[in-house]
Amino acid sequence: MAFSGTVCEMLNDYHEVELGHLHLMRSGSMTVQPRGESPVHLGEPGLVFLPRGLPHTITADEGHVANLLCATVEIGQQSRSPLALALPTVVVLPFREVPHLQPALELLFVEFAGTESGRQTALERLLEYILILVIRHQIIAGSARRGLLAGLADIGLARSLTAMHEDPKRTWSLQWLAEEAGMSRARFAERFHEVLGVTPTAYLSAWRVSVAQDMLLHGRPAKWAAAEAGYTSAAAFTRAFTRSVGKSPTQWLAERNEASDRSPVVWQET
């Protein structure tokens, strides 16, 4: 959703589905007020990213007009992916702190102003790349001392996490994960729990449920999603899913689909 002015109208609606909100300020000065959080000020070109759909308002500071380009984004909030949960509640990032953002931002603004064929696809791909750079910056900056971001910032743990993320259906053992990290089993288990706050087995289980949820949300059959997420049977999948989420895959998906019918599109001119 695009907006140029003093208040972004998209902010207080459509929070049944926990989509994230990305606000790119091309010029001006503004204050973001997340519900229940301290206000955040951005006085130069930059972005404000609320990964988990926290209701908020944005107002231009006195004497300024905040020139904004805004979008709703989905990085696994609906399935409560480890990445979505690991990011800070609010990310405020001046563009000057990430020079690599500039070329993508310029292309994004040009595409948004244009009418050429393929515009929507180009916007989505550029947005994905911008989010990758933002998340990469958060990892490098050490924005979290514990959790997934902290794990990805640890060279050894990052290798084991990447392996689990890329191949969730593999029958991972503690030994194999430790070898990926270049550690002994005991040291790996200790370090993993110390940094991520859960055991490798618990993390892998949560990741598999998250993978299956994402597939279900994208219309994949439950049997197919279960197999791709590493479950050997529909019954095992249902048990693990219900234990993690508190409801069956069918119940959960029906609720999410009902809520999604009320959610906004990712890009929409106003």
Q: What is the mean pLDDT of each run of 10 residues along the chain (270 residues)?
A: 47 54 90 88 92 84 84 69 74 92 92 86 90 85 74 90 91 94 96 92 90 86 90 90 88 77 40
Tell me, what DSSP letter sits at residue 23? E
Backbone dihedral region for residue 104 (phi beyond 0: left; psi -120 to 50: alpha; all else: beta): alpha
The Cα 140–Cα 158 span in angstroms is: 12
Of the candidates 21, 47, 16, the one whose C-alpha atom is nearest the C-alpha of residue 34 is 21
The Cα 69–Cα 2 span in angstroms is: 5
- As annotated, the residues of the chain forming the CATH 2.60.120.280 domain(s) are 2-140
Cβ–Cβ < 8 Å for 77, 20 = yes
Cβ–Cβ < 8 Å for 82, 34 = no
Percent of the chain with pLDDT over 70: 84
Structure tokens at 252: 């959960």
* Alpha helix (H) residue ranges in the chain: 82-86, 101-113, 119-140, 148-153, 155-166, 174-181, 185-196, 200-217, 222-228, 234-245, 249-260
Cβ–Cβ < 8 Å for 157, 189 = no
φ and ψ at residue 48, rounded to 5 degrees: -125, 125
* pLDDT score for 164: 92
Distance of CA 36 to the CA centre of its chain: 21
* pLDDT score for 18: 64
Q: In what order do the strands lie in the sheet with 40-42?
A: 40-42, 30-34, 56-60
Q: How far apart are the first and last CA of the chain?
A: 7
Q: Which long-range contacts (CB under 8 A, 24 or more apart) does 231-237 make?
A: 237/212
Q: In the CATH hierarchy, which top-level class contains the domain 148-259?
A: mainly alpha
pLDDT tens digits for 5-51? 445 544 444 444 467 889 999 988 999 988 888 899 999 999 999 88
Q: Which residues of 118-148 are buried (b: 16+ CB within 10 A; e: fewer)?
A: eeeebbeebbebbbebbbebbbeeebbeebb
Q: Would you tell me which CATH number, out of the four given (2.60.120.280, 3.40.190.10, 3.40.50.300, 3.60.20.10), belongs to the domain 2-140?
A: 2.60.120.280
* pLDDT score for 84: 66
* pLDDT score for 160: 94
* pLDDT score for 96: 93
* pLDDT score for 192: 95
The Cα 222–Cα 16 span in angstroms is: 23
- As annotated, the residues of the chain forming the CATH 1.10.10.60 domain(s) are 148-259
